[in-house]
Amino acid sequence: MSLKHLFPALERGGVHYLDSAATSMRPESVLRAMDDYYRYDSANPHRGLYDMSQRSTAAYDGSRSVVAKFIGALPEETIFVRNTSEALNLIAYCFAPSVLGEGDNVVIPITEHHSNIVTWQYVCKKQLAELRYLYIDRETGAIPDGEFSKIDGRTKIVAFAHVTNVLGSVNPVEKLVAAAKKVGAATVCDIAQSVPHMPVDVRALGVDFAAFSAHKMYGPMGIGALYGRLELLEAMPPFMYGGDMIEDVREQETDFAPLPSKFEAGTQNCGGAVGFAAAVKFIEEVGYGAIAANEAALLRKLTEGLRKIPGVTIACDAGAYERHAAVSFLVDGVHPHDVSTILNDSDIAVRAGKHCAHPLLDYLEIPFRSTTRASLGVYSDADDIDALLEALPKVRRIMGYGD
Amino acid sequence: MAIEEMYTRLITEHSRDKRNRREMPEATHSHRGVNPSCGDEITLRLREEDGVIKDAAFTGSGCAISQASASMMADLLTGRTAEDAKRLAELFLGMIRGDVTDEAQLEELEEAISLRGVAKMPARVKCAVLPWHTLQESLK
Ligand SMILES: Cc1ncc(COP(=O)(O)O)c(C=O)c1O
């Protein structure tokens, strides 16, 4: 059964929303939770001794517990940040310099989002370290075994997405973590594209850090979380300085608050945290089993349908990786921006362009350095896929190709 | 507006046309324009002699709208004075902003008038105007 009726943006129709990998829509329950918080409970948390401030504190701290439990972490290990990008920056600023020196290296797959590339470029330049890439096989999209030897005695950090955003491929987390552990390197896992679709337990993954955004998992924009192993977070210096992150301040010295407050300076995005927790509850209520079953069936319909359309090719389609909820494709001779404009005429919303992954598109030598990407969410249904598969054959015709 | 009215034959053909898509070793002006938001980029080259544009060409990559716009603009510029070219750029930008609607006035843009529908597609305005902004920059 379609869940569109739970999402105000989708229930009135008028859009086949196939861009959930960029940001998902938000269900009524999340909007209601945030609205209620701001209407009735939004005093400044952690500050007032009166009832409303207590309710606000309970809402904020309670939201953290919900989010922490969702990924199998402790509340003290779960830091609220603005988004995945900020979480990765926090690691780059506050952890990386303590382990990374001249001649050391950071290793990342070529499939990464810019937020998991540019941050490491920054810190590698600053520390005179090297940024190394694990290249994928251009046909299959998988990382060949030989690439793993790039993780060597000078590797201090291995950072990778759990699910990649352009191809929807699942990275071999177990192998990456094993290779990193063997050389004593820290692991950073970007779970932004996996948490909307599959259960994630940071301890089972065995990673040292993880990062994700609420807005890709049916929560609000402007809030996300960083997970870090307790010992690592405890040893790290603060990221931002100011109110709420202190225990005691004297004229020249400050004792910082214990975790997680040490990393949360100033009044926080409480309404966002409440929405984040409501999004977790929404996912738990629907259940990952139902989410995965729906998305897998639609993904199969989508990929099989795309393969039948003349002039349409799926990127890295030789199928050596497990794909999740997103497909990038090319329409021969047509720039993805034109593809998207033409699909928009049939009320289809897809992402077209470079997907914040320039190095991957260059490496794959993708024409126009761009792809069109269709991605799925919990509300996607067969209607959305049919609409896309019906509209796509029109694209080349409208662009003046006679097929 | 139906989508077919945007992607007319004229526009799709211009977007693939090779005549004006070339290097120009003897260029007197060369300027690169980029749309950071979408990544479209063109390098516009002009050969100006005695105040007259003798040749106009471009290289680059982008969507059909930006590429067709560049091709039509290059056709229009050849044989024009630099002053005239600046005036036409203003006219084109006025058309896309929706400020200039007088048919007789817009006729002067020749084939580029066919891009007027972009005025109603806010997401694509930046594609259509990229070559013309690049022209303005190169004639500064
Ligand atoms: C894999 C991946 N990492 C990181 C990000 C960045 O997320 P945010 O923009 O919320 O920081 C995205 C979102 O586009 C993503 O898909």
The CATH number of the domain holding residue A260 is 3.40.640.10
Residue of A nearest to B41 (CA): A368
The answer to the question of residue A403 being in a domain is no
User: What pLDDT is attached to residue B36?
Assistant: 85
**Mutation pick for ligand 1 pocket among A20, A189, A193 (CB with most ligand atoms within 8 Å):** A193
Same domain (yes/no): A160, A185: yes
Q: Which of A293-297, A304-308, B28-32, B121-125 has the lowest mean pLDDT?
A: B121-125
Last residue of a domain, one of A284, A305, A328: A284
The answer to the question of residue A266 being in a domain is yes
Of B3, B39, B62, the CB nearest to A398: B3
- Confirm or reject contact between A353 and chain B (CB < 8 A): yes
Residue B140 scores a pLDDT above 70: yes
Mean pLDDT value across residues A246-254: 95
Same domain (yes/no): A16, A141: no
Contacts of A338 in chain B (CB under 8 A): 7, 63-65
Same domain (yes/no): A112, A238: yes
How near does any CA of chain A get to the CA of B68, in Å?
Answer: 12
Mean pLDDT value across residues B91-95: 97
Say how far apart CA A107 and CA A154 lie, in whole Å. Answer: 10
> Taking all residues of chain A, what is their mean pLDDT, rounded to a whole number?
96
Residue B88 scores a pLDDT above 90: yes
Residue B5 scores a pLDDT above 60: yes
- Is residue B16 within 8 A of residue B72, CB to CB? The reply is no
Q: How confident is the model at residue A321 (pLDDT cuts 50, 70, 90)?
A: low
pLDDT in tens, B14-62: 999 999 999 999 999 999 999 988 888 999 999 999 999 999 999 999 9
CATH topology assigned to domain B3-138: Sufe protein. Chain: A (3.90.1010)
The answer to the question of residue A304 being in a domain is yes
Q: How confident is the model at residue B2 (pLDDT cuts 50, 70, 90)?
A: confident
Same domain (yes/no): A278, A336: no
Q: Which atom of ligand 1 is nearest to the CA of A224?
A: 10
Last residue of a domain, one of A261, A284, A307: A284
- Domains: count for chain A: 2
Same domain (yes/no): A184, A65: yes
CATH of the domain at A294: 3.90.1150.10
Residue A320 scores a pLDDT above 60: no
Q: How confident is the model at residue A197 (pLDDT cuts 50, 70, 90)?
A: very high
A223 alpha carbon to ligand 1 midpoint, in Å? 12
The answer to the question of residue A277 being in a domain is yes
- Is residue A289 within 8 A of residue A197, CB to CB? The reply is no
More confident: A13 or A264 = A264
Contacts of B61 in chain A (CB under 8 A): 368-369
Same domain (yes/no): A147, A109: yes
How near does any CA of chain A get to the CA of B78, in Å?
Answer: 27
Residue A294 scores a pLDDT above 70: yes
| DSSP assignment letter at A40 | I
User: What pLDDT is attached to residue B4?
Assistant: 87
Fill in the amino acid letter for A119.
T
Residue B99 scores a pLDDT above 90: yes
Contacts of A398 in chain B (CB under 8 A): 3-4, 7, 12
pLDDT in tens, A66-104: 999 999 999 999 999 999 999 999 999 999 999 999 999
Contact across the interface for A399 and B12, Cβ inside 8 Å: yes
Helix (H) or strand (E) holding A329: strand A326-331
User: What pLDDT is attached to residue A380?
Assistant: 98
- Is residue A121 within 8 A of residue A105, CB to CB? The reply is no
Same domain (yes/no): A277, A317: no
Q: Which residues numbered 151-180 in A keep a CB inside 8 Å of some CB on B?
A: none
E-only strand ranges, A229-291 = 246-249, 254-256
pLDDT in tens, A199-211: 999 999 999 999 9
The answer to the question of residue A58 being in a domain is yes
Mean pLDDT value across residues B90-98: 96
Same domain (yes/no): A295, A161: no
Residue A402 scores a pLDDT above 80: no
Q: In what order do the strands lie in the sheet with A351-353?
A: A312-314, A326-331, A371-375, A351-353
**What does each C-alpha distance from B125 to A33, A371, B12, B95 come to in angstroms?**
38, 20, 17, 11
Instruction: Provide the percentage of residues in chain A whose pLDDT is more than 90.
Output: 94
Q: How confident is the model at residue A403 (pLDDT cuts 50, 70, 90)?
A: low
The answer to the question of residue A122 being in a domain is yes
Contacts of A400 in chain B (CB under 8 A): 7, 9, 12-13, 16
Question: How many A×B Cβ pairs under 8 Å?
Answer: 48
Same domain (yes/no): A238, A339: no
Instruction: Provide the percentage of residues in chain A whose pLDDT is more than 70.
Output: 99
- Which residues lie closer than 8 Å to A287 by C-beta, 6 or more apart? none
Last residue of a domain, one of A233, A250, A284: A284
Q: How confident is the model at residue A236 (pLDDT cuts 50, 70, 90)?
A: very high
Q: How confident is the model at residue A355 (pLDDT cuts 50, 70, 90)?
A: confident
Contact across the interface for B123 and A399, Cβ inside 8 Å: no
Same domain (yes/no): A46, A17: no
Nearest protein Cα to ligand 1, atom 10? A83
Q: Which domain holds residue A383?
A: 4-24+287-398
Query: Which residues of A are marked as active site?
Result: 356
Same domain (yes/no): A280, A291: no
How do the domains of chain B map onto residue ranges? 3-138
* A122: three-class secondary structure by DSSP: helix
Residue B1 scores a pLDDT above 80: no
Same domain (yes/no): A230, A320: no
Say how far apart CA B13 and CA A396 lie, in whole Å. Answer: 13
